[in-house]
Every structure is written in C-alpha cells, then in structure tokens.
Chain A
Amino acid sequence: MSREVVFRFDGAPYPGRDGQTIAAALIDHGILSWRRTRVDDQPRGILCGIGVCFDCLITVNGEPNVRACMTGVEDGDDLRSQEGTGYAQ
C-alpha cells in the first residue's frame, strides 16, 4: 500500500496517496474541474491525461500552469483552481 499524503484544494484538506498524479488525486474525490478558461470562462479538467493538451492546468504552491496529469501530488501541497492565465491580472 502506498503512503497517505494530505493536500489542500482551494483551502480544504483532502487525503491522497503518494505516487498519484494531482489529477488522479482530485478525481478520486469527485473533483473533475479545476480551471476556467481565459476567454469564455468554461470549466476544464483532464482531457488527454498524457501531458499533451495543457487543458489540466492548476496552480501548485503558488506556481500557475502546472499540468495536473503529469505532476505527482505531495504531502502538504497547496492546490488552487485557476482562473484565466493563472497570473493575477
């Protein structure tokens, strides 16, 4: 069994497993969308799941535009859903 980690998503704590991607950890909790698009404000989550499409961008510990499907979740991670480009305008 892989080790348990605890991460935060938009402030609330969630358990996850070491070795899981951020996308997998969020989907485990029924969270399917963590970004809204720049132009039309549409919800986005996973699409290709293999790092190609850049639909799954999320802000991790203050760094915007991290691919959730390619990045492992770590204990203590502060994940924030992302608006627009992820940079405060």
Chain B
Amino acid sequence: MNPDVVVIGAGVVGACCARACVEAGLTVVVVDRGAVAGGTTGGGEGNILVSDKEPGPELDLALLSRELWAQMAGSLGDSFELDPKGGLVVATHQHTLDYLLRFADEQRACGVIAEPVAATDLPDHEPRISRDLAGGVLYPQDMQVQPMLAAAHIIEAACATGRTTLMTDCAVTGIDVDASGAVSGVRTAQGVISTRHVINAAGTWGGEIAALAGVELPILPRRGFILVTEPLPPLVRHKVYAADYVANVASDNAGLETSAVIEGTHSGTILIGASRERVGFDKTLDWHVLGRLAKQAIEIFPLLAEVQLLRTYGGFRPYCPDHLPVIGPDPRVPGLLHACGHEGAGVGLGAATGHVIAQWITGASTSIDLAPFSPARFGASHVA
C-alpha cells in the first residue's frame, strides 16, 4: 500500500479529511485503532454552530464549514439527519441579555445572521419555552447532524470512489521519517503503510500521535455529559441554550461548568447537554453534574420536569490551551499535518477542516488563513 495520504482517526474530522482529499484527486487510507466514530464523535452531540463563536478565526472556519456541511448533505442524500433548525439563545436575566445582544452585534459584523427576540416573542419561536426569560437571539444558520451517521456515511462515500481504504481495529504505533526528517510511512498493528502525508485526526489523542513523530502537541481531555429523555412528540423546535453557555465554552476554569443546551432529535428523544470539566479521562458518572444539567434545562423548558430520562452518555472533548483547533502542516516534520483539538466543535468545524487540509496538500491556496491554527503557535518543542 502506498497512498498519497494516511488519515489517523475515523471520527468525524478524519472522515471529512478523507473525503476532501479524495475529492481533490488523492488516494487515502483511513486507520483507526477502534471503530468508525468510536472516539469522541460517538460521545457528543452534532451541533453545527455559528451562534457560540466569537469573532475571530474560529468563526470564519465555522461559517465556511456550515456551507460545506450543507453541500455534503446534498450530495450524500440526507444520510445523516442534517437539520437546518436554527439556534435560539436565551438569557435568564437582563444583564446576561445585555451581554448576549452586544455579542450578537459583534457577530453580525462578521456575517452571522443574529436576530434579537423580545421576551414576549420567544413563545412564537418556541411555544413551550419558559415565560420567565429576559429575551434572546435567533441564529437561523445553526444546524444539527447525527455525528456517528455523518462519520460513517462520509467515509463510506469516500471508499465507494475506490480511492479510499478503511482499516479499523488497527492502531498506529509509529510514524517513520526519511533521512531528511520528512514523513515516509506509518506503522500500524497490520504493517507499515508508505506515504508522504499523514493527517493526525486522532482528536483527544492527537498529542500521542504527534509524539510518535517526535513532536509535542498540547491536547487535553475536557469531559462532558449529556442527558437523553424518553422519546416525545416534537416539543423543542430549535437548538435552545442559555447565554451562559458561550461564556463556559471560552472559559479557562478547570472546575465544573454546566449550561443547558436543549435540542430535539429525529428519533424523538431530547438531548440535554452539556457539562465541561477537566478531570482527565475519568469516566465515573457524576450525579451532581447530571442534576445540575436537568435543573437548568427545566428553567428553560418547565415541561421537562414531567419527562423521564432514559440514559446519559458522554465523552472527552479534545482541547488546546487557547481553545483553537490545530489545523495544518507541522513545520517540525514535513509531511505531518494536524487536524485535531476541536474541543466542543469538531463536528461543526469538521467539514472546513478537511477542506483546507486537502487544499494545503494539493498546493492550492487555502480558503482560510491557517496561521492562527498552526501547531507552531505552541513553540517548537521536540519530544526527546
């Protein structure tokens, strides 16, 4: 096997990278030590948001990504439940509303559609919403997909071209370099794959892959839990969340943060996310966290107090110290590219990530400046 590109990781980001490379005319092998979507992609939600992004490089990436997701959904025949439902961000108090409205003004200047909604008009958009809210902002560009279906169908479509091979249950154990220090191959549990380009799409484990190539990448896990209700007739139309969520996403607090994010799904269940905690890879269920999420959700949708919860699940978001993903070539190892560290937005940002990575490999100019996402921003340290 001698593909143009080896993608490490079969989550949503690896899937998008594989597809974009294939569309750019490259041959690809996707390698995962587990199953497709067996990592964080199978432990999160599928929101594609512009609403929670502050002006800056991540928002630019998000705006491009939502266009590309819509295109992908068009060409893959609605296989992953893309729903352009729009987001509704609400504030429980006047001072949060003031903050939210200022935030929306800044976003609007960058091309986000953000429509203020007065408290009295909220029920027109969400009939079951609490009558005790201060107001909100509607974001029609927010969308949602089913992330596991998305990863699986995108990889399947890439394989159907005959130019992508998928290897699951196949751990990457080493990255080989030639005499000049450039990538020459990937060692796996099933043998060596020769290649000139490796895309590190290993999500929360991206730092381990970087270390295999002798370089450091500061990616750490940020745990999140989600509650799943019993299936219900459609009650929640948008993705609805409290304005505090935006502050939590950008926060550096190591402790527990929760802010309810509520959304209906195709199957009728309502998902209530999501907590944010830095507790390493500890999977222990924490009732305190779940209780706080439930309480906050009930504050926004009082009828949820009568609804049963079926289960909870969670995952570990891959985060970098500055909360930006790492996307692009690693100047320390020619041929090594990173596409990881997307924290709580890997689904949303996945499509654009694959797109710009494929552009870079084929020598095209990238749709977005990759400098803010470069691994060089962490300082060029090699691992001994």
Query: Could you tell me which A residues sit within 8 Å of B by CB distance?
Result: 38-39, 54, 57, 64-65, 84-87, 89
Going nearest first, the 3 A-B pairs with the smallest beta carbon separation are A65-B230, A85-B231, A89-B233
How far, in Å, is A53 (CB) from chain B's closest CB?
A: 10
Q: Which residues of chain A come closer than 8 Å to B267, judged between CB atoms?
A: 38-39
Residue among A38, A39, A54, A64 having the largest count of chain B Cβ atoms under 10 Å = A54
Q: Which residues of chain A come closer than 8 Å to B231, judged between CB atoms?
A: 38, 65, 84-85
**B 154-189 binary contact with A (CB < 8 Å = 1; else 0):** 000000000000000000000000000000000000
Q: Which residues of chain B come closer than 8 Å to A54, judged between CB atoms?
A: 230, 310-311
How far, in Å, is B109 (CB) from chain A's closest CB?
A: 43
Q: Which residues of chain B come closer than 8 Å to A84, judged between CB atoms?
A: 231, 233
For B232, give its contact among A39, A57, A85 (CB under 8 Å).
Answer: A85
Q: In the assembly, what is the distance between CA of A54 and CA of B231, in Å?
A: 11
> With A38-B267, A38-B268 in contact, do A87 and B310 touch (Cβ < 8 Å)?
no
Q: Which residue of A lies closest to B311 (CB)?
A: A54
Q: Which residues of chain A come closer than 8 Å to B311, judged between CB atoms?
A: 54
Q: Which residues of chain A come closer than 8 Å to B308, judged between CB atoms?
A: 65
Q: In the assembly, what is the distance between CA of A65 and CA of B268, in Å?
A: 13
**B 307-323 binary contact with A (CB < 8 Å = 1; else 0):** 01011000000000000
Give me 23 A-to-B residue pairs in the complex whose CB atoms sit less than 8 angstroms apart, sorted by A's number.
A38-B231, A38-B267, A38-B268, A39-B267, A54-B230, A54-B310, A54-B311, A57-B230, A64-B230, A65-B230, A65-B231, A65-B308, A84-B231, A84-B233, A85-B230, A85-B231, A85-B232, A85-B233, A85-B268, A86-B230, A87-B232, A87-B233, A89-B233
Q: In the assembly, what is the distance between CA of A85 and CA of B232, in Å?
A: 5
- Please provide the chain B residues from 190 to 234 with a CB less than 8 Å away from any CB of chain A in the complex: 230-233
How far, in Å, is A49 (CB) from chain B's closest CB?
A: 17
Q: In the assembly, what is the distance between CA of A84 and CA of B268, in Å?
A: 10
How far, in Å, is A11 (CB) from chain B's closest CB?
A: 24
Q: In the assembly, what is the distance between CA of A13 and CA of B2, in Å?
A: 70
How far, in Å, is A68 (CB) from chain B's closest CB?
A: 14
Q: Which residues of chain B come closer than 8 Å to A87, judged between CB atoms?
A: 232-233
Q: Which residue of B lies closest to A66 (CB)?
A: B308
Q: In the assembly, what is the distance between CA of A86 and CA of B307, in Å?
A: 12
Given contacts A38-B268, A54-B311, A65-B308, 4 further A-B contacts (CB under 8 A): A54-B230, A65-B231, A85-B230, A87-B232
